[in-house]
Amino acid sequence: MRRLIPFAIAAVLASTPFAARDARADGELEQVLVESATTPAQHTALARYYADKGAAATKEAERHRAMGKAYGGAKAAEVSRMREHCEKLAALYADQAKQFDMLAKEHQALAK
């Protein structure tokens, strides 16, 4: 029963929008969940959690790509730097999404 409590908390957190949570508390809970995961159900829950984080990062990458395109036609140096900023963030979020997706797949494999 005690092992299920962190995963019940994770289920509640997964249903809460990312922006509404304290990032530090989220990271600490994530650490506890990763360290205590031993059952297939726990690894499946972590797989879903990381898949959701990957999807959120993908959305952020798309949002920054769209913002970067909005700066696309301008020639001013400042606007060019803003476009580059958006493109860099999009690439970082895309990489983050790949990493979360990889973690989701690894936990799904551990659940089998």
Q: Report how many domains make up the chain.
A: 1
Contact 68, 90 (CB under 8 A): yes
Which distant-in-sequence residues (6+ apart) come within 8 Å of 37 by Cβ? 43, 45, 46, 107, 110
Residue 71 amino acid letter: Y
The pLDDT value recorded for residue 88 is 96
State both tokens at 5: 């409590």
Contact 50, 104 (CB under 8 A): yes
The pLDDT value recorded for residue 25 is 77
Q: What angle do CA 5, 104, 98 make, to 5 degrees?
A: 140
Structural domain span for residue 51: 4-110
Contact 71, 79 (CB under 8 A): yes
CA distance linking residue 44 with residue 40, whole number of Å: 6
Return per-residue pLDDT of the chain as tens, 112 residues: 556 555 555 565 555 555 555 777 788 888 888 898 999 999 999 999 999 999 999 999 999 999 988 886 656 777 888 889 999 999 999 999 999 999 999 999 999 8
